[in-house]
Structure 1
């Protein structure tokens, strides 16, 4: 198993899990990243970076984010969002997995991506149900805001985590190199002169 395969699988599963918070946000951010060339969807999933897909996902994202602030509509959306998040999670993870066998490709995408999206969606549905039952729906906008923030921030973190990890690695290496150089300098200055 190569590092590229592992990175693609992690990216796909991370974005798929974010579909459990909001269905269209991770798809939109993946579409933008693919359009900018930051991520590369597998063959057959080039539609993810097309302009029409980007526009359609942007419109769907705006409607989805706004609809969760309408008290009666948010619970109806949870019913629709559960299968939709599993489908979106499966699409995202499958679009990034470099596997040639179609059955294994889609099966693994469904298990990893659809499963992680479904688990997160079930948790958010239960949270909203609890919020509705205990506060009469008054706290649902707060829950919706938290889910929106989680979806955006975790999707961005998933996409940019390799870059962040690389920057952190460089900073840590530079820190240790500077410390080693400082210790060598101190050692040479403290060494007894002949």
Structure 2
């Protein structure tokens, strides 16, 4: 990114969408990684995005780093990860909504309301897909699948954040892919639940 005023509206929307969707997976990691990138100068921002500078505050980064570290370990222990997800059912959507809100132009109240709602909705959707998928994986007795999925989420979050900051023109595409992935996961889990409960009801009826 060459300058602080080079971001267009589509790039800003793309970054806001990507951040809110990724916050549904790893809110603390998104905050910490963004603050770190800003403090090291890797994420120059347009003037009206200066409110995001709060993420580079040492105290904010410290709390986010602690949360990211706690989540890193909690997310790799079967069922503890589901308990962690349950606790963060409200935290992640609110965090995603606030991140999205901070990115858009404060001079446009309508756009800010839209960003808050869509950011929170996107984070809730991706959180729901992640939490449901991890709960389904936890039904397997072996821990390898859980650890592999958690590690993949860690790597994907860091990699995609770096990508949208380094190539903001592609951020909207990343947001659309993440949205499609979240929707697809929720639909797949819904079908899985219908199949499982359908079999149980059929088995009970035949007894």
User: For this structure pair, what is the TM-score category when the shorter chain's length is used for normalisation?
Assistant: 0.7 to 0.9
Q: Structure 2: how far apart are the matches of 1:106 and 1:77?
A: 30
Q: 1:111/1:160 Cα in 2 relative to 1: closer, same or farther (>3 Å)?
A: same
Question: Which residue in the other structure is 2:120 paired with?
Answer: 114
Question: Which residue in the other structure is 1:36 paired with?
Answer: 40
Q: What is the CA distance between 1:12 and its match in structure 2?
A: 1.2
Q: 1:25 aligns with which of 26, 29, 42?
A: 29
Q: What is the CA distance between 1:153 and its match in structure 2?
A: 1.4
Question: Which residue in the other structure is 2:157 paired with?
Answer: 151
TM-score (norm 1): 0.73
Q: Structure 1: how far apart are the matches of 2:155 and 2:28?
A: 13
Q: 2:98 aligns with which of 66, 91, 95?
A: 91
Q: Which moved more, 1:39-48 or 1:122-131?
A: 39-48
Question: Which residue in the other structure is 2:141 paired with?
Answer: 136
Q: What is the CA distance between 1:20 and its match in structure 2?
A: 1.6
- The answer to whether the 8 A contact 1:15-1:158 is kept is no
Q: What is the CA distance between 1:105 and its match in structure 2?
A: 4.7
1:10-29 per-position Cα deviation (integer Å, ceiling 9, x unaligned): 11111111112211111112
Q: 1:164/1:118 Cα in 2 relative to 1: closer, same or farther (>3 Å)?
A: closer
> What is the aligned-residue RMSD (CA, Å)?
2.5
Q: What is the CA distance between 1:65 and its match in structure 2?
A: 1.0
* SS of alignment partner, residue 22 of structure 1: helix
Q: Structure 2: how far apart are the matches of 1:91 and 1:143?
A: 27
Structure 1 residue ranges without an equivalent (≥5):
166-194
Q: What is the CA distance between 1:157 and its match in structure 2?
A: 1.4
Question: Which residue in the other structure is 1:161 paired with?
Answer: 167
1:51-75 per-position Cα deviation (integer Å, ceiling 9, x unaligned): 2112221121111111112223111
- The answer to whether the 8 A contact 2:39-2:56 is kept is yes
- The answer to whether the 8 A contact 2:101-2:112 is kept is yes
Q: 1:92/1:66 Cα in 2 relative to 1: closer, same or farther (>3 Å)?
A: same
